[in-house]
Structure 1
Amino acid sequence: MNPLDPETFETLLTNCADEPIRFPGAIQPHGLLVTLRGPDLHIQQISANVEALFGVAPAALLDQPLSMLTGPQAAAAVLQASHFIEQVEVPPLELHLQGLTYEGLLHCNNGILILELELKPDETELNHTMAKVRNLSRVLQRLQTGKTLPALYETCVSEIQALTGYDRVLIYRFQEEGHGQVIAEASAPAMELFNGMFFPASDIPEQARELYRTHWLRIIPDAAYEPVQLVPKLRPDTGQALDLSGAVLRSVSPIHCQYMQNMGVLSSMSISLMDGERLWGLISCGHRTPLHVPHELRMACQTIGQVLSLQISALQTLEISRQREAKIDALVHLNSAMEQGPENVFDGLALEPRLLMELTRASGVAIIEDKVLHRYGQCPHPEQIRDLYQWFKQSGDPVFSTHSLSTLYAPAAEYKDVASGLLAMCLPKPVDNAVLWFRSEIKESMPWSGDPKKPLNLERSATGLRLSPRTSFELWKVEVDGICDKWSHGDLFAANDLRRSALENDLSRQVLREQQAVRARDELVAVVSHDLRNPMTIISMLCGMMQKTFSSDGSHASRRITTAIDTMQQATSRMNILLEDLLDTSKIEAGRYTISPQSLDVTQIFEEALSLLTPLATDKGLELTFHSEPDLKIHADPERLFQVLSNLISNAIKFTPAQGTIQVAAITSGDDIVFSVRDSGKGIPAEQLPHIFERYWTAKEGNTSGTGLGLYISQGIIKAHGGLLVAQSTPGQGSEFRFTVPKFA
Structure 2
Amino acid sequence: MIQAAAAPVLDLSTCDKEPIRTPGSIQPHGFLLTLAADLAVLQASANLGDWSGVAADAAPGRPLADVIGPAAAQRLVPELAAGLGPRPLYVGTVTTDNGRHFDVLAHEWDGVTIAEFEAVDRAEPADFRNLYPLIGDFLLKVNDTSSIESLARLACRHVRSVTGFGRVLVYRFDADGHGHVMAEARDPGYHSYMGQHFPASDIPAQARELYKLSRIRLIQDATYSPAALVPPLNPVTGKANDLSFAALRSVSPVHLQYMRNMNTLASMSVSLMVKGKLWGLISCHNEGPAAVAFDKRTACEQLGQILALCIESREDAAELQFRLEVRRTMVSMLAGLTQGSDFIENLANVFPDLLRFARASGVAIMVDERILTFGDTPEHDDIRALADWLALHDHGDVFHTDKLSALYAPAARMTRNASGLLAMPISRIHKHYLLWFRPEYVHTIEWAGNPHAKEPTSGAPTQLSPRTSFAAWRETIHGTSQPWHGGEIELTLEFRTALLGIALERAEQMAELAEELGRANKELEAFSYSVSHDLRAPLRHIVGFADLLLESAGSEDGQQRRRFLKNIKDAARLAGKLVDDLLSFSQMGRASLHPTTVDMNELVAACLDKLALETRGRNIEWDIGPLPTIWADPTFLHLALFNLLANAVKFTGQRDPAVIRMAAEDHPHETVFHVADNGAGFNMDYVHKLFGVFQRLHRMEDFPGTGIGLANVRRIVERHNGRVWARSVHGEGATFSFALPKQTNP
- Give yes or no for TM over 0.5: yes
- Secondary structure of the 2:465 match is strand
CA distance in 2 between partners of 1:288 and 1:182 (Å): 19
CA 1:578–1:18: 2 relative to 1, 3 Å: same
CA distance in 1 between partners of 2:174 and 2:454 (Å): 17
Question: Structure 2 counterpart of 1:508, which letter?
Answer: E
CA distance in 1 between partners of 2:223 and 2:88 (Å): 31
Tell me by how many angstroms 1:192 deviates: 1.4
> Contact 1:359/1:494 (CA < 8 Å) preserved in 2?
no
CA 1:287–1:125: 2 relative to 1, 3 Å: farther
> Contact 2:94/2:123 (CA < 8 Å) preserved in 1?
no
Q: 2:369 matched to which residue of 1?
A: 371
Deviations 1:181-223 (A, max 9, x none): 1111112112111111112111100000000111110000000
- Secondary structure of the 1:135 match is helix
Q: 1:63 matched to which residue of 2?
A: 61
Q: Map of 1:237-256 to 2, 5 A cutoff?
A: 237-256=236-255
Q: Map of 1:276-355 to 2, 5 A cutoff?
A: 276-344=275-343, 346-355=344-353
- Secondary structure of the 2:418 match is coil
CA distance in 2 between partners of 1:19 and 1:125 (Å): 37
CA distance in 2 between partners of 1:279 and 1:395 (Å): 33
CA distance in 2 between partners of 1:531 and 1:12 (Å): 95
Among 502, 506, 528, the alignment partner of 2:503 is 506
Tell me by how many angstroms 1:53 deviates: 1.1
Say what the alpha-carbon RMSD is for the aligned residues. 3.4
Tell me by how many angstroms 1:423 deviates: 1.7
> Contact 2:169/2:185 (CA < 8 Å) preserved in 1?
yes
| TM-score, scaled to structure 1 | 0.67
Question: Structure 1 counterpart of 2:380, which letter?
Answer: P
Deviations 1:28-63 (A, max 9, x none): 00111111122x112111101111111112222112
Tell me by how many angstroms 1:369 deviates: 2.1
- Secondary structure of the 1:91 match is strand
CA distance in 2 between partners of 1:470 and 1:88 (Å): 33
CA 1:68–1:197: 2 relative to 1, 3 Å: same
CA distance in 1 between partners of 2:192 and 2:274 (Å): 26
Q: 1:442 matched to which residue of 2?
A: 441
Q: 2:23 matched to which residue of 1?
A: 24
CA distance in 1 between partners of 2:371 and 2:49 (Å): 81
Among 467, 475, 489, the alignment partner of 1:470 is 467
CA distance in 2 between partners of 1:148 and 1:91 (Å): 35
CA distance in 1 between partners of 2:462 and 2:513 (Å): 78
> Contact 1:94/1:102 (CA < 8 Å) preserved in 2?
yes
Tell me by how many angstroms 1:517 deviates: 3.0
Q: Map of 1:100-499 to 2, 5 A cutoff?
A: 100-122=100-122, 130=129, 134-143=133-142, 146-344=145-343, 346-393=344-391, 394-455=393-454, 466-499=463-496
Tell me by how many angstroms 1:327 deviates: 2.7
CA distance in 2 between partners of 1:400 and 1:75 (Å): 63
CA distance in 2 between partners of 1:124 and 1:118 (Å): 14
Structure 1: 5+ residue stretches without partners = 1-10, 459-463, 536-571, 592-689, 698-745
> Contact 1:211/1:245 (CA < 8 Å) preserved in 2?
yes
Q: 1:563 matched to which residue of 2?
A: none
Report the identity percentage: 35
Tell me by how many angstroms 1:509 deviates: 1.0
Question: Structure 2 counterpart of 1:419, which letter?
Answer: A
CA distance in 2 between partners of 1:113 and 1:331 (Å): 58
Task: Return 187-196 or 207-216, whichever deviates more.
Answer: 187-196
Deviations 1:381-427 (A, max 9, x none): 22221232343343433223222221222221121111111122223
Task: Return 468-477 or 509-518, whichever deviates more.
Answer: 509-518
Among 33, 40, 46, the alignment partner of 1:42 is 40
CA distance in 2 between partners of 1:117 and 1:267 (Å): 19
Tell me by how many angstroms 1:100 deviates: 3.2
> Contact 1:456/1:468 (CA < 8 Å) preserved in 2?
no
Tell me by how many angstroms 1:88 deviates: 8.5
CA distance in 2 between partners of 1:397 and 1:121 (Å): 64
- Secondary structure of the 1:210 match is helix
| TM-score, scaled to structure 2 | 0.67
CA 1:526–1:218: 2 relative to 1, 3 Å: same
- Secondary structure of the 2:22 match is coil
Among 57, 67, 73, the alignment partner of 1:75 is 73
Tell me by how many angstroms 1:528 deviates: 8.1
CA distance in 2 between partners of 1:428 and 1:106 (Å): 61
CA distance in 2 between partners of 1:499 and 1:55 (Å): 73
Task: Return 62-71 or 117-126, whichever deviates more.
Answer: 117-126
Tell me by how many angstroms 1:474 deviates: 1.0
Tell me by how many angstroms 1:379 deviates: 1.1
Q: Map of 1:78-93 to 2, 5 A cutoff?
A: 78-82=76-80, 83-86=82-85, 90-93=89-92
- Secondary structure of the 2:357 match is helix
CA distance in 1 between partners of 2:258 and 2:348 (Å): 56
CA distance in 1 between partners of 2:135 and 2:302 (Å): 9
Question: Structure 2 counterpart of 1:450, which letter?
Answer: G
CA distance in 2 between partners of 1:515 and 1:429 (Å): 24
CA distance in 2 between partners of 1:421 and 1:269 (Å): 39
> Contact 2:111/2:236 (CA < 8 Å) preserved in 1?
no
CA distance in 2 between partners of 1:335 and 1:238 (Å): 63
Asked whether 1:515 is paired with 2:512, we answer yes
Tell me by how many angstroms 1:473 deviates: 0.8
- Secondary structure of the 2:165 match is coil
- Secondary structure of the 1:313 match is helix
> Contact 2:11/2:465 (CA < 8 Å) preserved in 1?
no
CA distance in 2 between partners of 1:84 and 1:145 (Å): 42
- Secondary structure of the 2:170 match is strand
Matched residues, number: 541
CA distance in 1 between partners of 2:684 and 2:385 (Å): 58
> Contact 1:143/1:307 (CA < 8 Å) preserved in 2?
no
Tell me by how many angstroms 1:328 deviates: 3.8
Structure 2: 5+ residue stretches without partners = 1-9, 534-681, 693-710, 722-742
